[in-house]
Amino acid sequence: MIPFARRLAVLAVSGVLATHAFAAEAPRAVNTYLTEQDAAARANRVSNVAYILDFTLTGKPDFAGTSRIDFDLADNSAPLTIDLDKATVASVTVNGQAVAANYNQFFITIAAADLRKGRNSVVVAYTRLHSTNGEGLHRMVDPVDGKVYTYSHFEPAAAHQMFALFDQPDLKATFQVNVTAPADWVVVSTKRESAVTAAGADKKWTFPASKVLSPYNFSLHAGPYKVWEDNSGKYPMRLFARQSVASQVEPADWFKFTKDGLTFFDNYFGVPYQWEKYDQLLVPDFLYGAMENAGAVTFGERGFLHQSKSTQAQREGLAGTIMHEMAHQWFGDLVTMKWWNGLWLNESFASFMGTMATAEATEFKHAWLAFYSGGKQGAYSTDQSLSTHPIEVPVPSTANAFDNIDAITYSKGASTLMQLRHLLGDEVFRKGVHNYLEKYAFKNARLDDFIGSLGEAAGRDLKPWTQQWLYQAGVNTIAATYSCSGGKISNFSLRQSATARLPTLREQRVQVATFKREGDKLVLANKAAVTYKGASTGVPELVGGACPDLVYPNYQDWGFAKVRLDKKSFATAQASVAGVDDPLLRSMLWQSLWDGVRDGQLPLNEFIKTALANAPLEKDYTLLGSVIGMLSGAKHYLDAMQAAPAYAADTGRQMDDTGWRAVEANSGNSNFQRRWFSFYVGVASSKPALERLAGLLDGSVKVVGLEIAQDQRWSIVNRLNRFAYPGSEALIAAEQLRDKSDAGQAQAIAAQVVRPDATVKREWLAKVQDQKTTLPFSRVRVAIYSLYPVEQKSLNEASAAERLASLPAIDKAAGPVFMRSYAEMIPATCSAASIKRLDAAAAKYTDLSAGTRRALLTLREEDQRCVTISRAMTAGAPKA
Ligand SMILES: [Zn+2]
């Protein structure tokens, strides 16, 4: 799966969660979740599960289903529970006998007396509402043409929002499906249908039994989807999207990336793809980025539909996501974790292999550079936060399964796998992975099984490595220490340090490189590969070389370590960053400068000056994205800290001007021009900049090469409303007349909610907090992210105390899916008073769910960082 990236994507878990010891006979708690103990107890008794699922879909808000579950039972000495969420149960039949349904809205309990040792058969007939929150069998009505679309999403444990089952990953099963649906619908599942027959005015779709799967990897999607097909590869491929957005789909890219990826993974793993066909669906209201359902992968429309031709960045995002989900088809779907504590290995591995496949099997050869400046930075920042956690942590219940969907689980894990590959060698690593997939195919596995396979291939014991990297949180800092005499290096060592709180030192293989200045260029002088452990490791290979102007101790990014540049190297980086030819090194030096800002070492105003001077010269497209991302981050901090008004206004204008000049200067290069244009729209705040935006919208301002398509129009309308530009509110209604799509409706809400208007804020805060709202969750989420933009500080403050006071009650009433977004409502406004307010809340509200508490502590830490950056400013007089 790929998560939905927002501010809180950098969140991390707060320490290790306690696991409770339950007595074996303790009855299952009456709620929608399943504990690890209850799951383990059930898996001890149940095996060889086969489902026959019947669904009748009409397009109406509810659907009917019958679930037949055949399974072996080791003993019939105790009752057995079957998961089924909020259904109306019509009948329960056990081994051919109708029984009274013992159902509590979360699970059905089958009495011991009705069960027998050996083979059992349970049939549950029920009706249920479709969900509207993106889990279970989600239903959406297209506002453009009234057509109804459904799709399933189950991870971590939402299959029981659709049918009756044992909803846990280690009870793999076969799934045979029959669906009655309207005649113009297409139905997609793990396998291709074996028959479609007329059933009155409807059609009946029959799907043969699948190979064994964990329930969360099974899926069923149905609706009048538009279908594209491509049979030019080894496996048949299809792509699906809603009819009304079909013109936004670029199927050629989809099929090319998919076909090349399947060839790459077949070869790399040495185990062929097991799900026979490869279907991919673009679906509305999706909670996440994408989901690896076996043979029927879902993608959120929001991330992959664009109203003008895709940019290189958007195409690369698509390729990377396709590869990530494809890697899961082996790692996750074919071999599956036993319980949710193993989710990280799925995600780490898919992130790592997805990046490798993107780099090696698509045109995006620099995918590792994008990983460095994207996911890996999130991992560094999370791993340095107080609320970081080890990669491997216990998960007591399905309520906590997604507590760790963060940069540690995805990107630190991927970085440690990358490091392990450098440590063991490419071929040994590949062989270990192959052996693991072969040995555990169609089974469940634990971390020790994976590490064992790699260790066996390498002929070494990886237990110490596993302890250091997977069970201990925190990132080490590495720094070079050296001295020179007579212009030559006379001694050189690599020093590793840890914090007092997380003191583990680790073994790691990196490259250390030295550089000399030649004119305005920075040129590689020497490099050495070093496997270091402990506090200090000598690097004799570098002794005798020319005394360097810059030393970079993690050259080419093999290692996962925070790099501290020595003083001379930092000064060289600041002066010569644009004179580095190698884009990855240039990216790393930019990162060192930005880290300097975030740690309070480099004044923000100095960084802004360097970045504004150098960004327009940046010729690498990926790196340009990361540098202007840092500049946007700098603007965010400036707005948050309320820097001295004259300085803030002047710097804001400089950003506007730099952005606009670059939009005009890049008229011959659409990718660069659009990258600069989105920067411009994101920072525009001065009157002339907003006037220009209004002009672009009404056509009075034009730039050669720049197309203002519907996506761009909405981003302009949003920006103008965010600053209450005269006449901007009327633009929302006008734009809705042009764009009646689902995306347009969401954009209209965002533009309305983002307005600096106390009444609007009050009204929408109440809607967001209303647990009984009829708004689909996808709309609620849009409102949450639009309510309090950084510069609307007094509006944010106006309800801050109320939002904190109501947090415990909302946390209790809502589930983790809602809270992951709602955590955005925790007020953090970059001041000593705000930090104090968060401290008081953390002390008082000790009962919050793990995820919400972590969000609170992480925001408190970010608030502190903002204040530190503010104090380190040397221009103007910031207030914090
Ligand atoms: Zn994933």
SS3 string of 424-474?
HCHHHHHHHHHHHHHHHCCEEECHHHHHHHHHHHHCCCCHHHHHHHHCCCC
**From ligand 1's centre to the CA of 527, what distance in Å?**
35
**From ligand 1's centre to the CA of 355, what distance in Å?**
12
**From ligand 1's centre to the CA of 328, what distance in Å?**
7
**From ligand 1's centre to the CA of 675, what distance in Å?**
27
Contact, 330 vs 267, CB < 8 A?
no
pLDDT (tens digit, 9 = 90+) per residue, 663-694? 999 999 999 999 999 999 999 999 999 999 99
Query: Phi and psi for 493 in degrees, rounded to 5?
Result: -140, 160
**From ligand 1's centre to the CA of 238, what distance in Å?**
21
**From ligand 1's centre to the CA of 775, what distance in Å?**
28
CA pair distance 248, 99, nearest whole angstrom: 51
**From ligand 1's centre to the CA of 261, what distance in Å?**
16
**From ligand 1's centre to the CA of 113, what distance in Å?**
42
CA pair distance 690, 687, nearest whole angstrom: 5
DSSP H helices in 160-250: none
Split at pLDDT 50, 70, 90, the class of 876 is low
Q: For residue 642, what pLDDT is reported?
A: 85
Least Cα distance to 876 among 537, 566, 638 occurs for: 638
Q: Does residue 2 register a pLDDT over 90?
A: no
**From ligand 1's centre to the CA of 288, what distance in Å?**
10
SS3 string of 747-783?
HHHHHHHCCCCHHHHHHHHHHHHCCCCCCCHHHHHHH
Q: For residue 4, what pLDDT is reported?
A: 66
Contact, 313 vs 207, CB < 8 A?
no
- Calculate what percentage of the chain has a pLDDT beyond 90: 91
pLDDT (tens digit, 9 = 90+) per residue, 71-122? 999 999 999 999 999 999 999 999 999 999 999 999 999 999 999 999 999 9
**From ligand 1's centre to the CA of 504, what distance in Å?**
28
Q: CA–CA distance from 820 to each of 17, 554, 825 (Å)?
A: 18, 34, 10
Please give the single-letter amino acid code of residue 842: A
Q: Does residue 470 register a pLDDT over 90?
A: yes
Contact, 485 vs 460, CB < 8 A?
no
Task: Burial-class residue 252 by CB neighbours within 10 Å (0-12, 13-18, 19+).
Answer: exposed
**From ligand 1's centre to the CA of 292, what distance in Å?**
7
Residues around ligand 1, an ion, CB closer than 5 A: 1, 347, 350
Evaluate the CA torsion angle 518, 523, 528, 533 in order and state its sign. Answer: positive
Choosing from 301, 325, 791, 861, the catalytic residue is 325
Residue 548 preceded by cis peptide, ω within 30? no
pLDDT (tens digit, 9 = 90+) per residue, 213-251? 999 999 999 999 999 999 999 999 999 999 999 999 999
pLDDT (tens digit, 9 = 90+) per residue, 568-592? 999 999 999 988 999 999 999 999 9
Q: How far is CA 866 from the centre of its chain?
A: 24
Q: Does residue 280 register a pLDDT over 90?
A: yes
pLDDT (tens digit, 9 = 90+) per residue, 802-854? 999 999 999 999 988 899 999 999 999 999 999 999 999 999 999 999 999 99
Q: For residue 509, what pLDDT is reported?
A: 94
Mean pLDDT of 850-878: 88
Q: For residue 520, what pLDDT is reported?
A: 87
Least Cα distance to 819 among 858, 851, 783, 845 occurs for: 851
**From ligand 1's centre to the CA of 291, what distance in Å?**
7
Contact, 531 vs 499, CB < 8 A?
no
Strand order in the sheet with 202-207: 97-99, 88-94, 118-129, 62-73, 46-56, 173-182, 202-207, 195-199
**From ligand 1's centre to the CA of 597, what distance in Å?**
32
Contact, 604 vs 597, CB < 8 A?
yes
- Show the CA angle centred on residue 636, arms to residues 634 and 637, nearest 5°: 65
- Provide, for the chain, the percentages of residues in helix, strand and coil under a 3-state DSSP scheme, each rounded to the nearest 5: 45, 20, 35
- Show the CA angle centred on residue 257, arms to residues 254 and 258, nearest 5°: 80
- Calculate what percentage of the chain has a pLDDT beyond 70: 97
CA pair distance 745, 751, nearest whole angstrom: 10
Mean pLDDT of 252-258: 98
CA pair distance 633, 377, nearest whole angstrom: 13
Q: Does residue 544 register a pLDDT over 50?
A: yes
**From ligand 1's centre to the CA of 326, what distance in Å?**
9
Split at pLDDT 50, 70, 90, the class of 26 is confident
**From ligand 1's centre to the CA of 273, what distance in Å?**
17
The answer to whether 325 is a known catalytic residue is yes
pTM of the model: 0.93
pLDDT (tens digit, 9 = 90+) per residue, 730-757? 999 999 999 999 999 999 999 999 999 9
Residue with token string 């939402």: 158
**From ligand 1's centre to the CA of 327, what distance in Å?**
8
Q: Does residue 13 register a pLDDT over 50?
A: no
CA pair distance 430, 453, nearest whole angstrom: 10
- Show the CA angle centred on residue 503, arms to residues 499 and 505, nearest 5°: 110
Q: Helix, strand or coil for residue 702?
A: coil
Split at pLDDT 50, 70, 90, the class of 262 is very high
Q: Does residue 616 register a pLDDT over 80?
A: yes
**From ligand 1's centre to the CA of 859, what distance in Å?**
25
Q: What is the CA radius of gyration of the chain?
A: 28
DSSP H helices in 306-446: 312-330, 343-361, 367-371, 377-383, 407, 413-424, 426-440
Mean pLDDT of 713-736: 98
**From ligand 1's centre to the CA of 257, what distance in Å?**
17
**From ligand 1's centre to the CA of 340, what distance in Å?**
13
Least Cα distance to 263 among 293, 290, 237, 228 occurs for: 237
Mean pLDDT of 483-506: 96
Mean pLDDT score across all residues of the chain: 94
Q: Helix, strand or coil for residue 221?
A: strand
Q: For residue 594, what pLDDT is reported?
A: 95
pLDDT (tens digit, 9 = 90+) per residue, 550-570? 999 999 999 999 999 999 999
Q: Residue 140 forms beta bridges with which residues? A: 149
**From ligand 1's centre to the CA of 405, what distance in Å?**
10
**From ligand 1's centre to the CA of 358, what distance in Å?**
15
CA pair distance 865, 75, nearest whole angstrom: 57
> Torsion-angle region of residue 534: left (phi > 0), alpha (psi -120 to 50) or beta?
left
**From ligand 1's centre to the CA of 354, what distance in Å?**
9
